[in-house]
Structure 1
Amino acid sequence: MKKLSSLLVVFILALSAVHAQELRCNVSVSASKIQGVNRNVFRTMQADLYEFMNNRKWTDHVYDIDERIECNIFIQLDEMISSDEFKGSMTVQLRRPVFNSTYETTLLNIKDKEFRVRYEEFQPMDFNITSNRDNLTNIMAFYAYIIIGMDYDSFAPEGGTEYFQKAQQIVNNSQSSIYAGWKAYESERNRYWLAENLLNRSYSGFRQCIYRYHRLGLDLMSDKLEDGRSEIAESLRLLQRVYRNRPNIYLFPIFFDAKADELVNIFSGSYTSEKDRVLSILNEIDPSNGSKYEKIKQDNTFNLDNE
């Protein structure tokens, strides 16, 4: 009987090792600007947030270890408001592997400047999607769902809808929060507008672009370089249509903060007529990076295994 029990424990441990959680999230907390406080609290916060993001089950799907979604969260704490309240910013980055290559493409690179939270060392980090209990876990869970939704969108048309809806539910629950970042009137670029834009049918071309750019474009380029690049060029037309209706939505800086350099690398190896078409679109919908896009005119081969 003891031997059977031991074998059962080994089986359960092996099974849990094979079926991993969804995220492989690197979490970093920096508080170099805050002086005169025990630094252990920041190390404990980092460890707690790492466990919260990586050890929680965010979906009903089964993941293998090598399928986990690669992401980074960097928290910069600038001010200590009280013994357990901190203010700063949070940067969220999401990477996605490209099929049949060693290249990883950036899907998200967002800086959230409205990061004001309470954290008490050694207290459990509770989260409930149906209530507004804690701003810190609400923010972390919100971006966990945004990360998963964006990753799913890049593999299937509007595949991330369920997770964007969960992110929006957190926004809705936070409308009575005393903390900024959750309400429409506070800013045009915050968590409220990120969830709203992603689920707004008027901007569905953005999500169509995410799928076409990655699944039909980048994932094809290792085998059919020109075909994949052509799909990426066509995906930009979808963004262009959205831009002509609503040029100032939050989705555009989010996309180009992640993709501007990559687009230069992809299309600098293209032929002249395609370069001209892409440059015309990019200069219209992302004029702030116009000088960067001039590099597309140069000739440079995009190699998925050496980027």
Structure 2
Amino acid sequence: MKKIILILFFSLVSYSLSAQEIMANVQVMAPQIPNLNKRNIDVLQNAIRDFINNNKWTNEVYLPQERINCNLIITITSWDGNSNFKAEAQIQSTRPVYGSGYNSLMFNYNDKAFDFSFIEGQPIIFSDQNFSSNISALLTYYAYTIIGIDKDSFSNLGGNPYFNKAQNVVNFSQNSGAAGWRAGEGLRNRFWLNQNMLDNSFNVLRVFIYDYHRNGLDKMQENKTQSINHILNSIGLLQQLDKQKMGALFPNIFLAAKADEFVNIFKLSDINERIKAFNLLIEIDPANQNKYQGLIL
């Protein structure tokens, strides 16, 4: 009996030491592709999930409860009947708030050029140095991006190593012919999202991400009033960011992800603070003004 207990104990310890960084929930849909059956979808879905969840993305040890929760919803829009798929993907990640059961939305992005090839029985090969396939590059890019944003929320500019790894994926994918990797394809793609994250001009936003989560949200359970005041002052620092920069992809995505959360936080404060928060938020994030109206109505 003791031997069985020891085996179970060491198995749990081994799992804890080897737990990967991301826990992804993957859903693949093809509502307009009648000849793509459920089995095809399940095989693809499982391959993508296993690639994200089973690869080791950092050199750090993550406990099972520390894994980053991620949702990846892929909607296939066309299929050539063989191995080529055109698709869109919604990528989301969350971060737990200390001392609570609340998970804060960190990343929420719709990639409209999530096109790839996949052959059943052929593994998705991981490489962060060379292009092996577009599905591998896409999943690797978003894994590093999600980890980078998560790291930014725990340490000041802590995401740099992972944004650099994502940049490497961008660089070696540009000659693949796949969409979304090049600067000249528009201002809302993977190239520009990564460029924004590594551009020193956006460091004010990244410092805010750290301060907001570690010194604001994570301390709400200790002192709610003090934390709300800190968050309000921290948001004011975003006024330092060039107004033209605020219209770029990275701040646009981040603020859209946080708009509802901002409203819920400041609804806990008095009317004077709500008005102050409203005026600040509509200045830095006019795209979500309708949501912020809830603070003064």
TM score, norm. by length of structure 1? 0.90
Q: How does 1:35-50 map to 2 (within 5 A)?
A: 35-50=34-49
* Residue 221 in structure 1 maps to residue 229 in structure 2: no
Deviation at 1:277, TM superposition (A): 2.3
**Cα deviations by residue, 1:18-41 (Å, 9 ceiling, x for unpaired):** 221111111111112111234312
Q: How does 1:22-33 map to 2 (within 5 A)?
A: 22-33=21-32
Deviation at 1:11, TM superposition (A): 7.4
> What is the root-mean-square deviation in Å for CA atoms of aligned residues?
1.9
Distance 2:262 2:294 in 1: 10
Deviation at 1:291, TM superposition (A): 1.9
**Cα deviations by residue, 1:166-191 (Å, 9 ceiling, x for unpaired):** 00110011111211111111121111
What is the number of residues matched between the two proteins?
A: 294
Distance 1:149 1:133 in 2: 23
Deviation at 1:125, TM superposition (A): 0.9
**Cα deviations by residue, 1:195-217 (Å, 9 ceiling, x for unpaired):** 11111001101101110111110
Aligned to 1:62: 61
Aligned to 2:77: 78
Aligned to 2:168: 169
3-state DSSP class of the match of 1:49?
Answer: helix
CA gap of 1:200–1:231, structure 2 versus 1, over 3 A, is same
Deviation at 1:71, TM superposition (A): 1.1
Distance 2:97 2:9 in 1: 33
Query: Which of 15, 26, 50 is the equivalent residue of 1:17?
Result: 15
Letter in 1 for 2:154: F
Q: Retained in 2: the 8 A contact 1:208–1:238?
A: no
Q: Retained in 1: the 8 A contact 2:256–2:288?
A: no
Q: Retained in 1: the 8 A contact 2:202–2:241?
A: yes
Letter in 2 for 1:17: Y
Aligned to 1:250: 249
Q: What residue ranges of structure 2 are gaps of 5+ in the alignment?
A: none
Distance 1:13 1:292 in 2: 48
Stretch moving more, 57-66 or 6-15: 6-15
Deviation at 1:252, TM superposition (A): 2.1
* Residue 156 in structure 1 maps to residue 166 in structure 2: no
Distance 1:163 1:252 in 2: 18
Q: Retained in 2: the 8 A contact 1:25–1:53?
A: yes
Identity fraction in percent: 39
Distance 1:223 1:129 in 2: 41
Deviation at 1:283, TM superposition (A): 1.1
